[in-house]
Amino acid sequence: MKIIRAREEHLDAILEITQQAKKRLEKLGLDQWQQGYPAREDWEQDLRDQTAFAAVTKDPEGKDAVMGAFAFLTEPDPSYASIDGAWLTGDDARYASLHRACVADAYLGQGVGRRILRFGLERTLLLGIGSLRVDTHPGNLPMQNALAREGFERCGDIILKGGPEDGHGRIAYEKMVRPDGFERLTGVVRALRAEDGCPWDRVQTHESLKPECLEEAAEVIQGINILQETGSPDSLKEELGDLLLQVMFHAQLAEEEGLFTIEDVMNCVSDKMVRRHPHVFGAALTDASGKAVREWSEIKKLEKAGREWESEYLPKALDEAQSLIDAARKRKGFTH
């Protein structure tokens, strides 16, 4: 199962799933979604606004089978402007909201609803928004239980504004998203590389990104110079981020190729620093005779045992780097 941005070709399936959800709510004796909402027009608007998403799997013919659908919004919801209670993030905070969530009869009990809620939280994090809000009918116990299991807190009661259900009461839920810079950037890179991600990012390779990697390193030097000469840290902060993006991007490509992950990269350099600083971490390497090795140069030699041939690639890499620098200067119009 994966979550993708819904397309026009998914609309008929989404409408059928919506009807199935309406019938289930009717059987529960609820008036939720019984006044013509959500209608085709609502989903068509979501498609135009690119706020409609679908949980899909592949059918036997390799086509998308829609398991569920929902709308993910980042604009303020008029119904949330007033609450009998209190939002976790306050009345004026920026938030995302999840609406029109429904699951096909054939996929009930298979974790689709849970995946939809978690996707909403993941996307909220990627966008740097502080919380995700959801509302549901006071009698919709299945939805209330699902929200509670995912850590959403009941904040109070709201009154719907606009549409066929105008004036109806709903229970309001919210879950705060704790900002995690690493997790967010990892998610951003994966989203760029996803099936419905950025066309440019999807075609990049380790080879094609060589110029960007070198230019971003040069711009870090630019940021350092600006900091030293003007005291302004803004350029260095930005350019370090761009260089970090290159590291994350190459690690994502390697993960897709089954080579290694960003966690492997971080563990590799952490292990290296621990080995090379026995005076700090007390974790000295030993040579063939069992003698502890504490000199930096000797530690590096032991680390590279059997891989000495790798250094033969450095002269060519430096020549290539110079060529890429020359090309960058020419492309940017620098003649000196």
236-284 residue pLDDT tens: 999 999 999 999 999 999 999 999 999 999 999 988 888 887 777 765 6
The answer to whether the beta carbons of residues 1 and 67 sit under 8 Å apart is yes
Give this prediction's pTM: 0.70
Q: Phi, psi (5° rounding) for residue 155? A: -100, -20
Ordered DSSP codes for 297-321: HHHHHHHTTT-GGGGGGHHHHHHHH
Query: How far apart, in whole angstroms, are the C-alpha atoms of residue 272 and residue 263?
Result: 14
pLDDT in tens, 37-85: 999 999 999 999 999 999 999 888 888 899 999 999 999 999 999 999 9
Q: Could you state, in order of their start, the residue ranges of all structural domains in the chain?
A: 2-179
Residue 308 is predicted with a pLDDT of 72
3-state secondary structure of 104: coil
**Domain 2-179 CATH superfamily:** Gcn5-related N-acetyltransferase (GNAT) (3.40.630.30)
pLDDT in tens, 204-220: 999 999 999 989 999 99
Answer with the residue of higher pLDDT: 154 or 297.
154
Q: Phi, psi (5° rounding) for residue 228? A: -65, -40
Count of beta carbons in the 10 Å neighbourhood of residue 39: 14
Of 278, 100, 95, 252, nearest to 185 by C-alpha is 252
pLDDT in tens, 305-334: 777 776 787 778 778 778 887 787 887 777
Which conformational region is residue 153 in: left (phi greater than 0), alpha (psi within -120 to 50 degrees), or beta?
A: beta
Residue 326 is predicted with a pLDDT of 79
Question: Helices in 151-295 by DSSP H: which ranges?
Answer: 181-193, 199-202, 210-230, 234-256, 262-276, 278-281
Based on the number of CB atoms within 10 Å of its own CB, is 161 exposed (0-12), middle (13-18) or buried (19 or more)? middle
